[in-house]
């Protein structure tokens, strides 16, 4: 009664699978296993696009804002740690949390809802990039507390910025 189905991409391959979105018959080698069931490659690509709306200038904005703000934050931490070495790193930890929130909020505002995983990863890399001058300075002149301060700053801001940007609330 049921007519045999043939894969849309391989007309000589009989199959029982259909894409659960567009109903197209697909063979096992064309089917993509997704959390919502088997789908054809076209539907998977279409779905991906929805979550990948960033344009080329968003990458410049994301990385630029993240590294600029991170540069300022890491310099402030370097100054605080050099004035009060011992308690400086405790203040650094508090400032890092604030900086992470400020950086991700600023990046998000400029992006206006456009997103992509690569954009979040690159913006987070911008945080590290922006802190580089202060980190290098700390290794040369900062001593133990200087290095500790920058270490704490990056240890807190890097994961926090990534999670904030990707929509994860800590
Ligand atoms: Zn499909
Ligand atoms: Zn096929």
Contact 91, 151 (CB under 8 A): no
Check whether 1 has a pLDDT greater than 80.
no
- Res 113: pLDDT: 84
Check whether 71 has a pLDDT greater than 70.
yes
User: When comparing pLDDT for 170 and 45, which is higher?
Assistant: 45
Measured between alpha carbons, how far is 16 from 9 in angstroms, rounded to an integer?
14
Coil, helix or strand for 128? helix
Q: Percentage of residues in the chain with pLDDT exceeding 90?
A: 71
| CA dihedral of residues 106, 52, 20, 26 (deg, nearest 10) | -160
Q: What is the Å distance from ligand 2's center to 42 Cα?
A: 12
Q: Which ligand is nearest to the CA of 27?
A: 2
Residue 168, exposed/middle/buried by CB under 10 A (0-12, 13-18, 19+)? exposed
| Domain limits, the chain | 5-48, 56-165
Q: Which ligand is nearest to the CA of 23?
A: 1
Q: What is the Å distance from ligand 1's center to 91 Cα?
A: 53
Check whether 99 has a pLDDT greater than 70.
yes
Neighbours of ion ligand 2 (CB under 5 A): 7, 9-10, 27, 30
What is the tens place of the pLDDT at every residue in 19-41? 999 999 999 999 999 888 999 99
Q: What is the Å distance from ligand 2's center to 6 Cα?
A: 8
Check whether 86 has a pLDDT greater than 90.
no
- Res 4: pLDDT: 83
Q: What is the Å distance from ligand 1's center to 23 Cα?
A: 6
Q: What is the Å distance from ligand 1's center to 28 Cα?
A: 13
Neighbours of ion ligand 1 (CB under 5 A): 19, 21-22, 24, 40, 43
What is the tens place of the pLDDT at every residue in 118-159? 999 999 999 999 999 999 999 999 888 899 999 999 999 999
Measured between alpha carbons, how far is 127 from 49 in angstroms, rounded to an integer?
26
User: When comparing pLDDT for 31 and 167, which is higher?
Assistant: 31
The phi, psi pair for 18, rounded to 5°, reads: -130, 150
- Res 153: pLDDT: 96
- Res 65: pLDDT: 97
């Amino acid at each position: 009664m049921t007519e045999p189905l043939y894969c849309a991409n391989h007309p000589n391959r009989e199959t029982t699978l259909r894409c659960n979105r567009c109903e197209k018959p697909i063979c096992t080698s064309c089917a993509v296993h997704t959390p919502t069931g088997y789908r054809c490659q076209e539907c998977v690509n279409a779905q991906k696009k929805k979550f990948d709306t960033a344009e080329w200038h968003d990458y410049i904005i994301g990385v630029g804002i993240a590294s600029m703000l991170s540069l300022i934050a890491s310099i402030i931490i370097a100054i605080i740690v050099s004035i009060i070495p011992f308690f400086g790193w405790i203040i650094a930890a508090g400032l890092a949390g604030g900086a992470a929130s400020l950086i991700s909020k600023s990046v998000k505002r400029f992006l206006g809802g456009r997103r992509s995983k690569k954009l979040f990863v690159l913006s987070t890399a911008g945080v590290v990039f922006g802190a580089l001058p202060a980190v290098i300075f700390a290794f040369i002149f900062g001593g133990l507390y200087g290095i500790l301060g920058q270490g704490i700053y990056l240890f807190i801001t890097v994961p926090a910025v990534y999670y904030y940007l990707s929509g994860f609330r800590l």
